[in-house]
Amino acid sequence: MEQIISTESAPQSQPDTATRGVDERALTPGSVTALLVTAALAYALDLGSKLVAVSRLEGQEPVAIAGRVLTLQVFRNSGAAFSSGQAFTGVFTAISAAVVVVIARVAHRLQSLPWAVALGLLLGGALGNLTDRIFRAPGVFRGHVVDFISVEHFAVFNLADSAIVCGGALVVLLSFLGTSLDGSALQDRRDRSIRAPR
């Protein structure tokens, strides 16, 4: 009888909801893979487009895509994205390298697919322009970036610049929504809402 009473009255342990959420996030597969695939795709598209632009457009008349609004014409840019800050080539090279290092350091914390895509775009874009800085004239770490997409009354840029801008915008959006690298903020709010008394 004592054994029966003891068995019936003993509370059954239930996994804490927050703990379960953390465990599920820890088992989320593919975030680092998504980062690497996104970065590789952005880098490959940027590198390939620059090779084609240099071989077919450099020294030629601008190619009109949408009248004068959008044209293709090669410019060698010693500055940052969208041809800005052309007197600080070495500084922008260091910044690109720092972006790559920072993303590599935080990658192990990734459990959020949107963050993986955002960081992958930033990484691919930074590597694309960093490749130009290292391997193009006039010299190592001083190379000029190939820009070839010209928008009237705006700027001349490349696909790496576009990837950086899109990745940065996504980072701002995710930060505004309160989503962290491991995806915990959204899950924690959901857990607290489930546990809150009604």
The residues facing 71 across adjacent strands are 64, 150
On the CB side of 192, how many CA atoms lie within 13 Å of its CA? 6
Catalytic residue among 46, 132, 161, 191: 161
pTM of the model: 0.77
Q: How far is it, in rounded angstroms, from Cα 29 to Cα 113?
A: 9
Q: How far is it, in rounded angstroms, from Cα 12 to Cα 139?
A: 69
Q: What's the average model confidence in pLDDT over 157-173? A: 95
Mean pLDDT of the chain: 81
Q: What's the average model confidence in pLDDT over 42-71? A: 95
Establish whether 161 is a catalytic residue.
yes
Are 65 and 73 a contacting pair, CB within 8 Å? no
Q: How far is it, in rounded angstroms, from Cα 114 to Cα 9?
A: 46
In the chain, domain spans: 31-195
Q: What's the average model confidence in pLDDT over 118-127? A: 97
Q: How far is it, in rounded angstroms, from Cα 19 to Cα 16?
A: 5
Catalytic residue among 46, 132, 147, 191: 147
Establish whether 147 is a catalytic residue.
yes
